[in-house]
Each structure stands twice: as C-alpha cells, then as structure tokens.
Structure 1
Amino acid sequence: MPEKPAEPTDRSAVRSLLRLWPYVRPVRLRWIGAALVAVLASCLALVIPLILKWMVDGPVADRDPGGVWLGALYLLLLGIVEAGLFGLRRWLVARPLAGVEAAMRADLYRHLQRLPVAFHDRWPSGQLLSRGTTDLMLLRMFLAFPLTFLLVNGTTILVGFVILFVQEWSLGLVLLAPAVPLMVLCSLFETKYALVARKAQDQVGDLTTVVEESVLGIRIVKGFGRNRSQALAFRALAQRLRATELGKARLLAGIWALITAIPELAIGAALVLGTIEVANGGLSAGTLVAFLSTALALRWPVESIGFLLAMSQESATAADRYFEVMDVAEEPEPEAPGGAAGAGRGIVFEGVEFRYPDAGPGSPPALARIDLHIRPGETMALVGATGSGKTTLTALVPRLHEVTGGRILLDGEDIATMRRSRLRELVSVAFEEPTLFSATVGENVLMGAEGASEKELRRALSVAQAGFVHDLPQGVGTQVGEQGLSLSGGQRQRLALARAVVGAPRFLVLDDPLSALDVHTETLVEAALRRVLEDTTALVVAHRPSTVMLADRVALLSGGRITAVGTHQELLRTHAEYAWLMSGAQGTGAQDTGARDSGVLVSEEGSTR
C-alpha cells in the first residue's frame, strides 16, 4: 500500500469523478431524465414569487378576496407538482444507481482475485474492505444527490438571477456582488477539505483492519488476556479518526457560515434599497415582494454549495481510493498459452531464483540457483531449517509468486507459458495453515476440483481420514463457519488435504500437511496418502521423519539453495545438517541458516512468508 496518499492538490476532483463514467454510461438516460425533472421542479419554485407579485399588485391592492383565493390555489398546485417531480426524480435514480454500486463492487472483488499475492501481502485487508463498502457507498450517494444538485442548483441560480435582473437590475447587482468572494472561499475550502477527507477515509481503513484482526484473532486476544491492550489500540485509532472528522466539521461549519452570512447581508442591503425605492414610488410593492421572494428562494441553492462541494470532494477521494486498487496490474497471462503438457518429465527447477518485491536493495534472494528434478510419479520431500525458503519454493509451482530467474517445467512445459487456470488444474496445493470458508464442508473440499462427483468427495475425505464430518449435524452439508474455527486445527488440516487430493491432480504440492495431527491419525493419513502419491508427482515439505518416509527422495534446502538430494537413509549417513534436522536436536546454528534479514516475515512452521 502507498505509504502516503497522493496529495489531492496534485489531482483534479473533476478528473477523478469522470473515471466513473464507464459505470454511469449504461444508466445515463435515466440519470439525465432524473436531473431534468429536478431542474424543472426547482425552477417551478421560482414561479411562486411571480404569482406573489400578481397577487400583491392585483387582488391585494384591489381588495379582491376571490383573486387572493385563486392565487393561493395556484401556489398550492405548484407545491404539489414540485413535490411530485422530486419524488419522480428519486424513483428514476434509485434502482440504476444501486446497480452502478453493485457493478463497481463486483469489479473490485473480481480484480482483487486476480491480483498477485505480493499485492495482498502489502495491503491491509481493512483498507480493501473500506474501499469496497464505505467508499462505494459515498460514490452512489454522490451520483444520486450532490452531482444532480450541483447541476440543479447551478441552473436554479442562473434562472433566478435572470428573473431578478428582469424585475430590478440595480437590486440584482447588489445580490450579485458576493459572487466573487464566495468563489474564492469555495476554492480555498475545496483544497483544504480534500486533504482532510483523504486522511479520514484512510483512517477508516486502518480502523477496519484493527477490528477485523481482533475478531479473527479473538482466541489469541482472550487467551493472552490482551483485551485491554487491544481496546486501547482501537481507542487510539478511533480518537485519531474522531479528531480528523472534527476537523472536517470545523471546515464545513466555517464555509457554511460564510456562505450563509454573505448572501444574507446582500439580501438585507437589497431590502433596504428596495424599500426606499418603493417609498419614492420608483418600484411597486409587488415587485419588491417578488424580488425578495426570489432572492430567498435562491438561499438554499447558494447555501448548499459548501455542503455539495464537501460531498463531491469526499466522493472524488473515494474514487481515487477505488481506482488505486483497480489500477494495479493483474497477474499477467502469456500471450500464447502453451499446449498440453507432455508426459514423463515430472517437475524440473532450472536455475530458479526468487526475490520478494519488498526485499531491501542488495539483500540476498530468498532462493538462489535452485536446480531440482522430481521424476514423473515420484514424491520428493523438501527439508530445511526455519527460514530456508521451503514454503517460498512450493508457492512458485502454482505461480502464487513469479520466479525472478530461471524457470520451472511441468512435464517439459514452462509454467510461465501456461494460463493460470490450466496450471492450477494440473497442480493442487495444501498449506500447513489451512484456510476454510464460510460454507459447507462439501463446498470447502470441492473447491479443489470443480464438478467433482460425490464419489470423489467421499474418496478424498477417506484419504484425509476426515470421517469426522459424518458425525457433524448435517454431515458434509454442515456449515463450518468463518475460517472454519468451529473445527479443531487437525480437522481443518484434514479437510484442506482432502481439498488438495479430491481432483486426483497430476502434480501435488503439500506444505507439511500433517503437522496438526495426532500420532495415530497421522499414521492412518500417511497410509492412505501413500496410495494417492503413487499416481501423482509430488513435492512435500516435511519437518518430521514420519512425513519424510512418504517420499522416494529428499532435497535439503539450506540458505535458499539445494545443498543435497538423496534418499532419507543416504542423507542421514552423509549430511550432518540433515541428520541434525531429523534428530530434533535443539540449537541455533543450523536453524539460522538462510534466514532473511531483509524484513520478510518468517513463520514458525519453518517457512519464509
């Protein structure tokens, strides 16, 4: 995420809001129709002073009660028509603009799914959530109200001043005098408000992130008694947001006070001058009443300028924040997708190098010159100390990260030439930290193979020794809840393993998939998994000898390099670091091998990132 948002003074609010046009274009006719209806309704209100002029100079002056009642009827009818037109405007825009918001939210979600993992590593989830909720709500409100009424009020002011000048041009000049200072004030206000609006919306994203982390990590918060510290952290962010919002309120109050006071002074001056003219016989009483009524009818369009400008600035900021994400390039796809993978070559790493995008200048790469060949149908165990880069290496096979040097071949085909959709049909993965979604057990497992049959689902659950699902209230139809936290760690891990094997993939990448299982369950899963591995080419991250025994050969990763390849027994005899890792000895010497010092996170399960 950008450390500092772009200064609003470096961008045009109009240019930012114009980027919404592709979404508005499909509903432009209804929006334009609604705007015209609102203009008509607003201009009808300017007819009322003309009726008042007729009543004062006619029926009132002539003491004609019938004429007064007729004028009152005209005013009532105008009020009813005006109210009906504003109701029609609301009906015209409500449904289409809700559709615009839904389309923008769908595009944002779709885009987020296609962005590289490195993007999600950098951006707090709360910032993304606030863009998909609060910011889009602001944009819908802008299209429905401020945008329409900037047009409506501008037209009303223009028509109103034409009427004023026709009635009495000298008094019209008095009311027009505040126009220049008001424009200067609005320009200054717009610049300052844009800065504080961006600050507030970014702080909302920070606050959302803290709330989300606290809810997802509630067991840690409660387990370590950190309720108070989390509450204090939240309160500090909330107080910071409160101070920013109060700053916004002060700016808005100041501009509103000035925009209200200056025209009021002009109206007062016009009233005094108009009264003098009526007394001197240069102006009729009806004309003065109509003039002042028109001026008062223009009060709201003028006074609302500050409010509408504030909402427009917040909406421009929301548009900037939305398009900050939408402008990030998606994961590139090859121009000419490769054909079907060949057969008989397995997984080959040729001079593979990888450096994290956030790595410091001059820091060593996470992986350097990885040369490794996993034969077809072979299972290769990947062993290494904490921070040696095992998880990083496994993430390169399904292209969760892109290699920065060398290449990876699947049955002779470079994965960089494959479309991701096809690559991920060939390669299935299971991570040490299993992620489940708010869906049923069956839906979570079948994410690993779209269209898999009930028989394949049962087979996958059997391989993962996940028979516990049949004891759940609705069996495989049971909702597991957010993050699957209603299940134990071992149960979640078994479902993640079932998800990896349900589609009988050609290539299987497992990142220590049995770490949360008890000894007896692990033995059963290994026995079933061994049969699955006979029909696939697999790379398995292993920390325990029992997992290593699933493999035909073992690769030792140390300091981001492959330092030895052989069978488990061969490496025990010939390689001291491997023997130390398998012995479970305690110490720091070998464990520190290959740890990155560039600020990249190192997880406790023995993998970078």
Structure 2
Amino acid sequence: MRKLMPFARPAIPNVLIAMVMALAASIVSLAIPQVLQRLVDGPLSTGDPSAVPGAVALVAVLGAVEAGLYALRRTYIIGPATGVETRMRRALYAKLQDLPVAFHDRWPSGQLLSRSMSDLSLIRRFIAFGVVYLVVNVITIGIGVVVLLVLNPLLAVIFTVCSIPLWINGFRFEQRYNVVARRSQDQAGDLATLVEESVHGIRVLKAFGRGRTALEQFANRAEELRGTEIEKSRAVAGIWLWLLLVPDVAFALCLLAGVWQASLGNMTVGALVAFFATATVLRFPLESIGFLLSMLFDTRAAVDRLSEVFDSENTVHDPEHPKHLTEARGRLTFEGVRFGYPDTGPDARPLLDGVDLAIEPGETMALVGLTGSGKTTMVELAGRLYDVTGGAVKLDGVDIRDLTRQELRTHIAMAFEDATLFSASVRDNVLLGRPDAGEEALVEALEIAQASFVYDLPEGLDTRIGEEGLSLSGGQRQRLALARAVAANPAVLVLDDPLSALDVDTEALVEAALRRVLTRTTALIVAHRPSTVQLADRVALIEEGRILDVGTHTELLARSDRYRFVISSFDERPQPDRAEVRA
C-alpha cells in the first residue's frame, strides 16, 4: 500500500466510504439474528402470532438495506479504482518512454506488456474489492465474536479457539503462495514475450518451416506456467480445506454445547438460534480470508513487479540547469568520446575508444567501417539514445548532456536502417517529429524520399499503416522513415544506412533528391555503399572504435590502403527489392 499510495491517494476517501458502507451492511446482517432471537423467545414461544408479521417485515427491511449498501459500495468505488489503474498505466507508459534505450535492450517486451495489463488489473480489483473486504471482514469477525460472547461466552470461546488453526495455516499459506504467485506472473510475462516474438517473426518461421519448433517452445513454456498455476491452486486448496473444515467443526461443537446449555436452562432457544445465525453470518468473512489473502499476495507481487520498472534508474536524464540553443547552426563534434555498453564486463575494451571528429555546419560526413567498428553506436550517441562514458558530444559547442532531451531532438533527427513505423496514418508517421508542419513540408519530404507510392494507397496520406508497417515492403518502409527524418527539418540529420533496402534506380533518385536537403543541413551518414559515400563532402574511416582518417573520398582512396580495403568490401551488385520494383 505504501508503494501504491502516490497513485491511490485520490481514491482513499472513496475507499474509506466504501469500507463504511460494507461495514454497515455487515452490521445490518449481524442485526438480523437479534431479531430472530426476540421472535423465537417472544411470540413463537408464547404462541402469539400477532408479532410475527412485524418481525418478518423488519427482517425483510434489514435484508433490503444490506443489499442496497452492497450495491452503493460497488457503484461508489468502481470509478476511483479504475482511476488508480489509469493513473498507474499512464505513469508506467511515461516511465517506459523516459527510460533509456539500455533499459529496453535488457527487458523483454512481453514482461513489460504483462505488467501494463494483467498486473494493473490485479491492482484495480484489489483496490475495488480486496482491500475493502480484507479490512471490513476482519472488523466484522471482531464484532461478531463480541456478539457471540454476549449471547454465550462458552460457545464463543469454543468458536474462537476453533479458528486458531485458520490463522496458523494462513501464515503458512502466505509464505508459500507469495513465492509461487511471483513466479507465475514472471512466467506469464515470458510466455507473452514468446508469443510476441512468434507473431512478429511469423514470416521467418514460415519461411524456414520452424512453426512446429516454435510451437514446442511455446508448449514447454505454457507447461511450466501450468505447473506453477497448479502449485498455486494446491496452495489455495490447502487453505480452503481449513476454511471449510474449521467452521463446520466449530458449528458441530457449538451445537453440542449449545443444546447442553439450553437443557440446563443456561440459555434460551432464541439465544441459541441467534448464536448460530450470527455464526452463519460470520462464515463468509471467515471463508473469504482465503481468497482475500491470495488476492493480497497476487497484488503484492504485481506491485513489486511494477516497482522494478518505476524504480529503474534513468541514466539519460535532463540536466538540472539546462542550456538552450536559440538557433542551432549544426556543428556536431565528438571530443575524446568513449563508450561501452552497460552489459559488457569491466575489463572489456570500449566499443568507442577516444573518437575525435568534427562536422561543420552544412557539411555532410559519411562514416564508413567494417561491421562492429562502432558506426551505429556513434550515431546513437549523437541523438543521446545512450550517454557517452567518456569525452563529450557537442552541438554548436554545447555538450548535448547540457540540453534537455526534447530540445536536443528538435535539432537532431535520425533515420535508422531498421525502419520502424507505427499503427497510424502515413501522415502521422511522416510528421512524427514535427506534427505542426504544414502540407508543403509533408509533400516535400515524401518527394525527397521518393515515397510517392503513398498516394496510390487506398486512402492516400490518411491510409492507416499496419503494425510496424509490415504491410509495406522494406524499401517502402525505409523511404517513409527517411521522409520522417527530412520532414523534421533538423539542424543535424543522422542517417544510419537509410537506403539499404532500396533498389539501385530508386537509390539514385533518393540520393539526387537528398543532395538538395544536404545543402541546408549538417548530416552524418553511416554508409555501406560507394554511391552513398559519394553523397558526402568528407568521409571518416572508423576501425575498432577509433577514427583512422578523415578526408574526401578521392583523398582517402589515394592515401589509405585500409580505406580502399573497406570500400572494396562494399557490395556493388544491384539487389533490387522485388516488392519495391512492383510498387
């Protein structure tokens, strides 16, 4: 509850009122046996039927009041409880958006999905029902025991003593169920991850005929989850054994003792009827302890799982006193930049080990190197998807860590080799980085990216792209991603091999259009084709995390054996995308 308090605080008044309503309903239900006692000891024992209709009417009224209070409780609490769930879901999504890429590299998406859906639903149900009745039923049991003591102390002691095994086994249940509940929720998250990967990779699974293998993996994970759920059910069944057995044993012992007491004249028949009616009212609160405890422990595991996300440290954060660039010129510099991914060992060599590179305003710099040399890492550092572990990346002389992330990303736009699109319209995808841009900027960006195919889609620019844009070809997705970066109109344009999925003819058209854009913006381009290199004013050769040489393409060809080797390793053969050609 302490961890939930920041989100649940607005709902506390409603929860307390709901508790009062539920408690009032319980007290009303405990009042009915008192009416029955007076009915049995009064008109039924004397043979006077005149008072019976009034007693029956009173019982009916009390029953109606009890039902009305239960209905009011549900009506009063459901809105605030869903409000808590909504606030937590928004906060979780905002946290996931705020956390650095390094966090998402470590966490499976299925685990995050299960936390944002099933765990939050558990918390909502606990606030709307579990916490209310956990408190109310404990109070009801306490009041009921007092009523039983007033009716007959001996029977009350017998009933109370018989409940001791419930508390002992409840403690054992807590220790066992809490561990199993957490394991079950983690396994459900792993299963969700496997389903998501299989759905996203369905083309690969079908292409390689590995559907049966994927099914076997899923079945094994599902079987593990099934075993855990069975273990949970056994734990719940164990506590329910005591919850059902103990009250019955207590009823039997109290019945024997009650009949004996009545035969001795120590209690009236009406008191005996009232005692058992009260004990019957207490039966649900006693039996509910089982599922309320299981709900409590499920919720505690859910809160712990969510806390793992909320408590995750954001290593890429805004400065306390940010600087501002009123108008960025676009000078991008890497000064002694060092970087190693967090999951690498402390003795591992940094991926970038002292990179120095300066890109002047309006200049286009191509970055070339063999696989694993650190090219993509450099462009990710420029957009501050990661923070450098040494040195600095500067924009117009200002360390990008001294700018807010929002401001930085208005000055720098990126297009990645793996083009990611969202389930939104073409218009919304292209204008993602600059939603207030006009129609002219949108049309220009699509023209530069040679993405005129969008006008032939069923609803043109308003056509909704399917999940991740998989309904489009790879080249079409890349062109829309490039259009998105161009439409942002940044001071610095960072392109991570954005033309790899294009056929040669389309690539030539895009490069020709890009030259117009690159005359008015600074650009850093990761290149894997000589034709892309030729877009650049200068070329930087990177190897093993260091810049070996910088110069024009012609200069490097003339003086650098290593550069000639890297360029010669580029694949010059045309590799047209068949779907792209049809498009």
Q: What TM-score bracket applies, with the shorter chain setting the length?
A: over 0.9
Q: How does 1:508-519 map to 2 (within 5 A)?
A: 508-519=493-504
Contact 2:330 2:491 in 1 (8 A): no
3-state DSSP of counterpart to 1:230: helix
Counterpart residue number, 1:577: 562
TM-score, L = length of structure 2: 0.96
Equivalent in 210, 213, 216 of residue 200 of structure 2: 216
Contact 1:342 1:411 in 2 (8 A): no
Counterpart residue number, 1:448: 433
Letter in structure 1 aligned against 2:507: E
Given the alignment of the two structures, is residue 171 of structure 1 paired with residue 139 of structure 2, yes or no? no
Counterpart residue number, 1:82: 66
Given the alignment of the two structures, is residue 255 of structure 1 paired with residue 229 of structure 2, yes or no? no
Provide the C-alpha distance between the structure 1 equivalents of 2:175 and 2:279, rounded to a whole number of angstroms: 29
Given the alignment of the two structures, is residue 405 of structure 1 paired with residue 399 of structure 2, yes or no? no
Given the alignment of the two structures, is residue 116 of structure 1 paired with residue 100 of structure 2, yes or no? yes
Given the alignment of the two structures, is residue 293 of structure 1 paired with residue 277 of structure 2, yes or no? yes
Provide the C-alpha distance between the structure 2 equivalents of 1:342 and 1:91, rounded to a whole number of angstroms: 55
Counterpart residue number, 1:355: 340
Q: How does 1:556-567 map to 2 (within 5 A)?
A: 556-567=541-552
Given the alignment of the two structures, is residue 460 of structure 1 paired with residue 445 of structure 2, yes or no? yes
Counterpart residue number, 2:131: 147
Equivalent in 501, 504, 516 of residue 486 of structure 2: 501
Contact 2:329 2:491 in 1 (8 A): no
Q: How does 1:228-267 map to 2 (within 5 A)?
A: 228-267=212-251
Cα displacement (A) at 1:428:
0.6
Provide the C-alpha distance between the structure 1 equivalents of 2:327 and 2:267, rounded to a whole number of angstroms: 96
Provide the C-alpha distance between the structure 1 equivalents of 2:489 and 2:294, rounded to a whole number of angstroms: 57
3-state DSSP of counterpart to 1:508: strand
Report the CA distance shift for 1:459/1:343 in structure 2 as closer, same or farther (over 3 A). Answer: closer
Provide the C-alpha distance between the structure 2 equivalents of 1:500 and 1:345, rounded to a whole number of angstroms: 15
Q: How does 1:45-444 map to 2 (within 5 A)?
A: 45-330=29-314, 331-340=316-325, 346-444=331-429
Counterpart residue number, 1:14: none
String of CA shifts for 1:211-267, please: whole Å, max 9, x gaps: 111111111111111111111111111111110011000001101111221232122
Cα displacement (A) at 1:341:
6.5
Report the CA distance shift for 1:344/1:260 in structure 2 as closer, same or farther (over 3 A). Answer: closer
293-302 or 350-359, which moves further after superposition? Answer: 293-302
Letter in structure 2 aligned against 1:356: Y
String of CA shifts for 1:385-413, please: whole Å, max 9, x gaps: 01111101110001001000001111111
Cα displacement (A) at 1:577:
2.5
Given the alignment of the two structures, is residue 23 of structure 1 paired with residue 7 of structure 2, yes or no? yes
Given the alignment of the two structures, is residue 550 of structure 1 paired with residue 535 of structure 2, yes or no? yes
Contact 2:428 2:435 in 1 (8 A): no
String of CA shifts for 1:147-168, please: whole Å, max 9, x gaps: 0001111111111111111111
3-state DSSP of counterpart to 1:18: coil
Contact 1:493 1:514 in 2 (8 A): yes
Letter in structure 1 aligned against 2:46: D
Provide the C-alpha distance between the structure 2 equivalents of 1:408 and 1:382, rounded to a whole number of angstroms: 16
The number of residues matched between the two structures is: 570
3-state DSSP of counterpart to 2:112: helix
3-state DSSP of counterpart to 1:210: helix
Contact 1:556 1:578 in 2 (8 A): yes
Letter in structure 1 aligned against 2:245: A
Letter in structure 2 aligned against 1:462: E
3-state DSSP of counterpart to 2:541: strand
Gaps of 5+ in 2: 572-583
Provide the C-alpha distance between the structure 1 equivalents of 2:497 and 2:523, rounded to a whole number of angstroms: 12
Counterpart residue number, 1:599: none
Cα displacement (A) at 1:342:
7.5
Q: How does 1:27-46 map to 2 (within 5 A)?
A: 27-46=11-30
String of CA shifts for 1:110-150, please: whole Å, max 9, x gaps: 11100010000000000001110000000000001110001
Cα displacement (A) at 1:51:
1.2
Letter in structure 1 aligned against 2:76: L
Contact 1:342 1:412 in 2 (8 A): no
Provide the C-alpha distance between the structure 2 equivalents of 1:392 and 1:489, rounded to a whole number of angstroms: 23
Cα displacement (A) at 1:271:
0.7
The runs of at least 4 consecutive aligned structure 1 residues that moved more than 6 Å come to 341-345
Provide the C-alpha distance between the structure 2 equivalents of 1:365 and 1:574, rounded to a whole number of angstroms: 28
3-state DSSP of counterpart to 1:392: helix
Provide the C-alpha distance between the structure 2 equivalents of 1:21 and 1:64, rounded to a whole number of angstroms: 58
Letter in structure 1 aligned against 2:101: V
Gaps of 5+ in 1: 1-16, 587-609
Letter in structure 1 aligned against 2:443: R
Contact 1:448 1:501 in 2 (8 A): no
Cα displacement (A) at 1:28:
1.9
TM-score, L = length of structure 1: 0.92
Counterpart residue number, 2:517: 532
Report the CA distance shift for 1:183/1:410 in structure 2 as closer, same or farther (over 3 A). Answer: same
3-state DSSP of counterpart to 2:414: strand
Provide the C-alpha distance between the structure 1 equivalents of 2:26 and 2:131, rounded to a whole number of angstroms: 15
42-51 or 25-34, which moves further after superposition? Answer: 25-34
String of CA shifts for 1:149-193, please: whole Å, max 9, x gaps: 011111111111111111111111111113433222211111111
392-401 or 344-353, which moves further after superposition? Answer: 344-353
3-state DSSP of counterpart to 1:73: helix
Cα displacement (A) at 1:55:
1.3
Percent sequence identity over matched residues? Answer: 52
Provide the C-alpha distance between the structure 2 equivalents of 1:118 and 1:341, rounded to a whole number of angstroms: 30
